[in-house]
Amino acid sequence: MSEAFQAQATDSPDPNDAQSEQVLCDGVPGLCGGVPVEATFAEAFDMKATRLILTADDRRWCREAAAAMVGFGTSVIACGVEIAVERSLTENETPDGRPGVAILAFAVSGRELEKQIPRRAGQCVLTCPTTALYAGLAGDRSIHPKRIPLGQSLRYFGDGHQISKVLPPDSAEDAADIGANGDTEAGGAGARYWRIPVMDGEFVCQHDVGRVDAIGGGNFILLARSVSAATIACRAAVDAMAEMPGVITPFPGGATRSGSKVGSKYPNLFASTNDAFCPTLRDYRPTKLPAEASVALEVVIDGMSAEAIAAAMAAGVRAACEAAGPDGLVAVTAGNYGGKLGRHHFHLHRVLGSPARPTEAQP
């Protein structure tokens, strides 16, 4: 299915989409929950990603460690990594039988992930009482040859008292890939764990975690009549996507008001405010805001696959339109750069067009 989206890479925005007769959520062409959905597309980019599983003795320590780990991880523009909690995990879903969370991290390069993840793990997870950190992508080097160090780096904190253990694949269960498909690939060589003595006992940490190709920058923009309506719509969208596997919405609360365009009048900035959606500039700059809209908020989605992003976009747009309705939302659109920068294009009408199989849209 990814190929279907990649095949759209060469598409320019299709002018015929404007007259699209695509039937969306409520059976009316171009409408979802009574809200017009523009015939445009979200432009997304190739990224590198990994998944981590963070556990702790109780849910509170777990949340606090996760909050620290994903802090300042909204955008690769300045944070280096886009990182957020993917979903909560029950005791049955974690390697050590404790409450946990799955965290997804995305970066523009593997090298950046290799820099960011150990740094955050060391300062935010190792430091938090009772926590442990495991690989969330099953498989050893034979499956994921590109690796991000975890315990491989952190072990030195043990000052020689650290202990490593390699568990056979079947006993370790390879920390179980808790991915979208629930697939579990047994790593052939088993997994190495590090036990680092700390002041509450031991910090347990897997040696490393694989990284995979992924997609960042799936999005939709909610054009609302008021801030309160935009807030209602955004929160409904983010709630609808919150527990969906394989995706994160890395901005605060899942949405951003500072959607950006490429470039700036200042040569050292490569992104600046998306002036076409700024209501205070509409009278003297070209605008994409409809006359009735006074607020635009963007929901940005990073995902492990095109299918995951498409499914999340569909769920998010539907929930937003249903929550705010036409009285709150003027329209739904998406951010793109003319199709020239990112090779993954998520056409809103196609994503929303087939509720049962939202990723089957074809170029």
Partner 1 sequence: MSRRIELTTRESFPPGRIDVSAWRLEDWLEESADSIAKVGVAIVGEHAGRIGDFFRVTTCEISKQTPEWIFCGDCRHLYGLGHEHRLGSLIVDGDAGDYCGSCMLSGSIEIRENAGDFLAAPTGSRGVGMRGGRLSVRGDVGRAAGFRMRGGTLSIGGDAGPQLAGLMVAGTITCDGSIGRDWATGMRRGTLVLAHEPPPQSAMAFTPSRRLASPFLSVWSGGRFGSVMMRRGDRRVGGIGEIWTPEQAAVA
**Residues found near partner 1 in the complex (CB under 8 A):** 55, 95-98, 132, 161, 163, 165-168, 171-173, 193, 195, 201-202, 204
Whether 170 contacts 185, CB under 8 Å: no
Residue (35 or 103) nearer to partner 1, CB: 103
Minimum gap (Å) between residue 146 Cβ and partner 1 = 23
Residue (108 or 167) nearer to partner 1, CB: 167
Minimum gap (Å) between residue 143 Cβ and partner 1 = 14
CA distance 363 to 16: 12
CA distance 91 to 27: 41
Q: Count the Cβ atoms, other than its own, within 10 Å of residue 270.
A: 11
Strands (E), the chain: 31-32, 35-36, 41-55, 82-89, 100-107, 132-135, 147-149, 163-167, 191-198, 201-206, 208-210, 212-224, 247-248, 255-256, 260-262, 271-273, 295-303, 329-333, 344-347
Minimum gap (Å) between residue 161 Cβ and partner 1 = 7
Minimum gap (Å) between residue 101 Cβ and partner 1 = 15
Residue (55 or 249) nearer to partner 1, CB: 55
Minimum gap (Å) between residue 201 Cβ and partner 1 = 6
Residue (188 or 253) nearer to partner 1, CB: 188
Minimum gap (Å) between residue 157 Cβ and partner 1 = 16
Whether 73 contacts 105, CB under 8 Å: yes
Residue (95 or 217) nearer to partner 1, CB: 95
Residue (182 or 201) nearer to partner 1, CB: 201
CA distance 221 to 341: 19
Helix axes 306-328, 227-241, angle to 10 degrees: 150
Closest CA to 93 of 104, 102, 83: 102
